[in-house]
Amino acid sequence: MPMFASDRNRRLAFQFGRQSGLRSTNEIVEQLQQQIAAERAQHAFNMEMMHKENLKLVRENVGLRLDIARRDREAAFAQAPSPSGMVH
């Protein structure tokens, strides 16, 4: 059965439209993949910075606890009775 000119033109237009749609969809997918890669890199950087900040805070916390323990020890020694006054 021969294809009429108008059917042929419609078919060609459909194929052209489909190919254009596929190209633009492919471009959008590539852009989204690039955006995801950039966001993953930014997330990794943010996590690394947060980890460094947490380590800094932990070090500061440990230092403060050490200072408090030293102060408590000095206060305990200051309040303790003198050993020279004790009889064995």
Question: Which band of pLDDT confidence, cut at 50, 70 and 90, is reported for residue 86?
Answer: low
- Every domain of the chain and the residues it spans: 5-77
| Torsion over CA: 70, 76, 82, 87 (sign) | negative
Determine the Cα–Cα distance for residues 24 and 13; give it in Å rounded to an integer.
16
The predicted pLDDT at position 50 comes to 98
Q: What is the mean pLDDT of residues 55-67?
A: 98
Among residues 74, 73, 70, which one has the least CA distance to residue 62?
70
Q: What is the mean pLDDT of residues 54-69?
A: 98
Which tens digits make up the pLDDT trace of 21-50? Answer: 777 888 899 999 999 999 999 999 999 999
